[in-house]
Structure 1
Amino acid sequence: MSRRLKTTIAAALMVAVAGFATQPASAATARGAKPTIVLVHGAWADASGWNGVIARLKNDGYPVLAPANPLRGLASDAAYLNSLVGSITGPIVLVGHSYGGAVVTNAAADADVKALVYVSAFIPDQGETVFGLATKNEGSKISPDTIKTVPLPSGDADVYLKPENFADIFSADLPRSTSALLAVTQRPVTYSALNEPSGTPAWKTVPSWALISRDDHAIPLQTQRFMTTRAKSRTIEVTGSHAALISKPGTVASLIETAARATD
């Protein structure tokens, strides 16, 4: 092989390798142009409940995080989430389901959060509690008869939904077999977290979107409408249970992407 041919081949390989190397960087740059979506689950659930939503968001090119919400206390849960959000470069859309809505409301302070999205969620004002909002109007089936409390060494207590009541309260529009698995794997929330006053609400300064579940037996429909109206959230309503993030993943993902596009 002549020296000229070797030189030509080497040059061609260098161009090809350089081109290949720049493609992922360009793709990463394109992905970085979209806000990071942070999905926060609520009580009696875990981050896997977002799986259907995550798949759709990632398919559409959004960076996504779905951390484990500690469910130990509203201020401490919000501080944990705020630390995570602070580690993210670029704009962020915070999404909360159920109790997770109260957490994102408190976690968005001093962070580059461009939009809030509430999915069948609590949207507290300063001084309000999740338990107080849950019992504000008739319609919630959470009661001493449908929950189980487990005392903790700290003097607090973990609150579970009784397995026989889980589907009716949380996931009535899912197959019974799915609800049975969710009941077994549910993560408890502490009694103190449900009764801890909320801090300064981010929705007063950050634009918000919301999905209301009309057949929700955890947060009364009237309460959901009251909270979303007060927060001036851009709202859609669906026929479905408290578990809309699982039963309506396409609708939830679409709402999140609507909020994300508004950050451009």
Structure 2
Amino acid sequence: MSGPTIVLVHGAFADSASFAPVTRALLDQGHRVVVPAVPNRSLLADSAYVRSIVEGVDGPVVLVGHSYGGAVITVAGAAENVVGLVYLAGYALDEGESLGALQGGFPDSELAANLVYTPFPVPGGEDGTDVSVAVDAFPDVFAAGVDRTTTEVLAVSQRPLAALAFGEAAPVAAWKTTPAWGIVSAADRTINPDVERFGYQRGGFRAVVELDAPHLVMLSHPQDVVAFITDAVTELDRKDQS
């Protein structure tokens, strides 16, 4: 199939496997798909890493970011071959804005009271701090709406996010120059859905869809997510051909 490569960018407390149903469906449809493992060490470093992957793709790319991955694609999406951005329950940061600043403008979600902070060693420097979700709260707060036996596995295999990422300001907001689409998870207990709505409205996104879905929308509603991504790709293809 012709068209852009779809790069799926996971968020905090998750990994590339969180996109498994969506990845499978996109591959079955013939799309080229890349699903990198985001280090989750800092917004700037993670964005630079994802951008390096994007720039290694031959041809145009549509970047899809879930949750913190939305912040990552906001910065990495400045790569010249990125033609579209798709946010899934994601943070659409403005230039000069941090995750903490954007979240701070809205009431906390249930996640805030269920975070765990753990030091990790940094060679040659002070210890960093990993942020993760309390294992007992993970199924209901982070992964509500997903099969319980699956969420229990996800809870003990989550990929933490370094606290540094929350305070780093985005040096660029790619949605200002690149078409963007967004899904709001209206039943999100991890990110206040108003944070998602605000970012998408501010960015003048091409299309915004609200789903009665939890935070892990790509696991709970994979068919809706696939349809949303492919609709964006189709719109871009039509624009390119006109």
CA contact (8 A) 1:134 1:140 kept: no
Which residue in the other structure is 2:223 paired with? Answer: 250
Residue identity in the other structure for 2:216: A
Which residue in the other structure is 1:168 paired with? Answer: 140
Which residue in the other structure is 2:114 paired with? Answer: 146
| SS of match in other structure, 1:225 | helix
Residue identity in the other structure for 1:62: H
CA contact (8 A) 1:37 1:95 kept: yes
Unaligned runs of 5+ in 2: 238-242
| SS of match in other structure, 2:89 | strand
Which residue in the other structure is 1:238 paired with? Answer: 211
Compute the RMSD of aligned alpha carbons.
1.2
Counterpart CA distance in 2 for 1:81 and 1:36 is 14
Unaligned runs of 5+ in 1: 1-30
| SS of match in other structure, 1:163 | coil
Counterpart CA distance in 1 for 2:217 and 2:96 is 27
Which residue in the other structure is 1:130 paired with? Answer: 99
Which residue in the other structure is 1:222 paired with? Answer: 194
Which residue in the other structure is 1:36 paired with? Answer: 5
Counterpart CA distance in 2 for 1:135 and 1:142 is 14
Counterpart CA distance in 2 for 1:101 and 1:77 is 12
- Paired-residue identity, %: 38
Counterpart CA distance in 2 for 1:240 and 1:171 is 10
TM-score, normalising length: structure 1: 0.85
| SS of match in other structure, 2:6 | strand
Partner of residue 121 from structure 1, selected from 66, 90, 108: 90
Deviation at 1:134, TM superposition (A): 2.8
Matches within 5 A, 1:1-264: 31=1, 33-143=2-112, 145-154=113-122, 155-233=127-205, 234-264=207-237
As a proportion of its length, which structure holds more helix? 1
Comparing 34-43 with 160-169, which one deviates more in the overlay? Answer: 160-169
Counterpart CA distance in 1 for 2:187 and 2:84 is 26
Deviation at 1:149, TM superposition (A): 0.9
CA deviation digits over 1:188-230, x for unaligned, max 9? Answer: 0000012211111000000001110001112112111111101
Size of the alignment, in residue pairs?
A: 232
CA contact (8 A) 2:111 2:142 kept: no
| SS of match in other structure, 1:236 | strand
CA contact (8 A) 1:120 1:242 kept: yes
Residue identity in the other structure for 1:190: A
CA deviation digits over 1:169-198, x for unaligned, max 9? Answer: 211111222211110110000000122111
Deviation at 1:168, TM superposition (A): 2.4
Counterpart CA distance in 1 for 2:185 and 2:60 is 28
CA contact (8 A) 1:37 1:94 kept: yes
Residue identity in the other structure for 1:191: A
TM-score, normalising length: structure 2: 0.92
CA deviation digits over 1:32-86, x for unaligned, max 9? Answer: x221000000000000111110111111110000000110011111111111111
Deviation at 1:139, TM superposition (A): 4.8
Larger radius of gyration: 1
Counterpart CA distance in 1 for 2:233 and 2:13 is 27
Counterpart CA distance in 2 for 1:131 and 1:166 is 21
CA contact (8 A) 2:109 2:192 kept: yes
